[in-house]
Amino acid sequence: MNQTFTTHRRALMRRLPDGLILLAGGRELIRNYDVNYVFRQNSDFLWLTGVEEPGCALLLDPRKNSTTLFMPRIDDHHRVWEGHVPSPAEAKKLYGVQRVGFVDELSKELKAARRGHRRAYADPAAIKNWGNDLKGLRPASDVLVDAIEDLRTLKDEGELAFMRRANAVSGAAHVAVMKGARAGMREYEVQAIFDSACVGAGLKHLAYPSIVAAGDNGAVLHYRKNDAPLKAGQLLLIDAGAECRGYAADITRTFPVSKTFTRRQADVYDVVLGVQKALMAAAKPGVNSADWQVLSMRLIAEGLRDLGLLRGTTDSLVETGAVRLFYPHGIGHLLGLDVHDGLGGKRRKLPNPTKVPVRFVAKLEAGMAITVEPGIYFIDALLNSKSLAEKHRAAVDFAKARSWLGFGGIRIEDDVVVRRSGPPLNLTSVPKERRAIEELRRSAAHG
């Protein structure tokens, strides 16, 4: 039993003390005939229960401070095919809940549980399934979902332990990739090294499909094909992470397929690494993430100007969006049970104080887990766009930039936790200094 989930339930009941709270866990989805898609629990349900099994429900009564977990009733047919399933008594111990019942009794139980309550909070799936039983209690889902999202924003020690493990295992898998990748392999063979290292360490689920992108494919931000051959002289970008009890790691490294970086690769790498370190140091409580984003754009703009790809003042390169042609994504996002965790409550409503459009606008707070992931890319669709060429012709040396097409991209991504003072705690420990990477690459079999 993990105390973390009990703490989460208490926090939610404190937040919504005036109603009965009902949540439905995720259900299995049929892929075809007797085969289901791999089940992944709903993140809010996971946050409240730690239960990774499908078909459950959770009833919280804040007035009684009581928790009831409802599980599917299991018959012998199921036991023959699936094996042992925890009995209610075992589940009670396993998940640290006061009561365990069967889902097929939930309707009946709600008749008693709702007595004395004037309202209910239920998530959309619970309203769909048991809305009739909550009639008259004005069941609201938006308030519930918003409250959970808000509570999920700051990570406690129990959650950080899961995130540390997800990071440690994913980090070791990244190192295995740096040691194992070589020219002639296909991207999916590199993916197999990563995925197998995670599964082999006991983390059977990845947080998202691994992005393994050689050469030009590195310029495709969410590249998924993973089937091209690796060629000497190219860069390989790998963005991959496992999850532990649902908590994600989200790590990116970029390294040469050959033993060393070329001069041009090294020049861009040094810009991205410098920006990553500066932005990591700047991730402090009170900082607005929109300002943090702008800082990353400024530093990348300056780096690209030094490389002769951009011209003009830093302000204008950021404000006109010229730098976005090479860096078209955010510097980071919240990380947790979802690889892109959301913001709830008042935090969601913070206005963007900058002149640039930013998706992630929040005041950084101690306990937030975030990624720090600057990148520079040479993207055909942007560098060969007529309208962008027209708009940015004074700021971008398009002839030069187009001559870099085929380079792909460089992204370096670590997962950090903002601390009360000083720089954030870095959960990721995968080599990222050029020299350390080249050392690992030299130890790889280049066959």
Given a contact cutoff of 8 angstroms between Cβ atoms, the answer to whether 237 and 219 are in contact is no
Binding partner at 398 among Mn ion, ligand GLY, none, C-beta below 5 to 8 Å by kind: none
Which pair of tokens denotes residue 7? 């703490």
CA max distance for the chain: 73
Tell me the C-alpha distance between 258 and 440, whole Å: 11
Binding partner at 208 among Mn ion, ligand GLY, none, C-beta below 5 to 8 Å by kind: ligand GLY
Given a contact cutoff of 8 angstroms between Cβ atoms, the answer to whether 440 and 431 are in contact is yes
SS (H, E, C) 176-218: HHHHHCCCCCEHHHHHHHHHHHHHHCCCCEECCCCEEEEHHHH
Closest CB to ligand GLY among residues 187, 413: 413
Give me the least distance between CB of 319 and ligand GLY, in Å please.
Answer: 25
Closest CB to Mn ion among residues 207, 440: 207
Phi, psi of 66 (to 5 degrees): -115, 150
Given a contact cutoff of 8 angstroms between Cβ atoms, the answer to whether 330 and 221 are in contact is no
- Mask of contacts with ligand GLY, 321-350, x by CB under 6 A? ------------------x-----------
Give me the least distance between CB of 359 and ligand GLY, in Å please.
Answer: 11
Question: Is residue 239 involved in binding ligand GLY (CB under 6 A)?
Answer: yes
Residues in 157-216 that interact with ligand GLY by CB under 6 A: 208
Tell me the C-alpha distance between 246 and 237, whole Å: 24
Q: What angle do CA 53, 58, 62 make, to 5 degrees?
A: 150
Give me the least distance between CB of 412 and Mn ion, in Å please.
Answer: 10
Using DSSP's 3-state secondary structure scheme, residue 199 falls into: helix
- Per this entry, what is the length of the chain? 447
Given a contact cutoff of 8 angstroms between Cβ atoms, the answer to whether 417 and 367 are in contact is yes
Given a contact cutoff of 8 angstroms between Cβ atoms, the answer to whether 127 and 141 are in contact is yes
Closest CB to Mn ion among residues 97, 212: 212
Q: Which residues bind Mn ion (CB under 5 A)?
A: 239, 250, 371, 413
Closest CB to Mn ion among residues 338, 413: 413
Given a contact cutoff of 8 angstroms between Cβ atoms, the answer to whether 137 and 37 are in contact is no
Closest CB to ligand GLY among residues 96, 218: 218
Give me the least distance between CB of 282 and ligand GLY, in Å please.
Answer: 19
Closest CB to ligand GLY among residues 6, 167: 167
Question: Is residue 250 involved in binding ligand GLY (CB under 6 A)?
Answer: yes
Closest CB to Mn ion among residues 250, 341: 250
- Tokens 């002839």: give the residue: 399
Which pair of tokens denotes residue 348? 């969601």
Number of residues that bind ligand GLY (CB under 6 A): 6
Give me the least distance between CB of 248 and ligand GLY, in Å please.
Answer: 9
Give me the least distance between CB of 370 and ligand GLY, in Å please.
Answer: 11
Interacting residue ranges for ligand GLY, rule: CB under 6 A: 208, 239, 250, 339, 373, 413
